[in-house]
Amino acid sequence: MLLVALGGMVGAPVRYLADRAMARRFASVFPLGTVTVNVTGSAILGALIGAGANHWLLAVAGTGFCGALTTFSTFGYETVRLAEEGAYSYAVANVVIGVVASLAAAFLGAGAAQLFLGAAHGGLP
């Protein structure tokens, strides 16, 4: 539990800072910050799984850091808010892009980790 808490203590502020940085850099109705942290967290978690990370690393980096970095609740809230404001195309795009990009990032992260580990051990998987 302590490892999860430690990872979360890092992931939560990173999520906040990344969201604020995206909002400052890109003035958009579309929730770029949330999409960015969700896709990034999915890629990291995929890489951890693809690399065969041990249970300690999965606890701190996977559950703790990635769990605090990514946010399904904000994704849901922002999608509903967009729909309530009449920005239906943005709401649909948020769902499609958020889900597809996050799944793709997890698969790519896992594949990249496996490729990297295969190359590091003298061959490709």
Task: Please indicate if the annotation marks 67 as binding a ligand.
Answer: yes
Q: How far apart are CA 37 and CA 117, in angstroms?
A: 25
What is the Cα 24 distance to its own chain's centre?
A: 20
Task: Please indicate if the annotation marks 71 as binding a ligand.
Answer: no
65 token code pair? 């850091």
Annotated binding site for Na(+): which residue ranges? Answer: 67, 70
Residues forming the annotated binding site?
67, 70
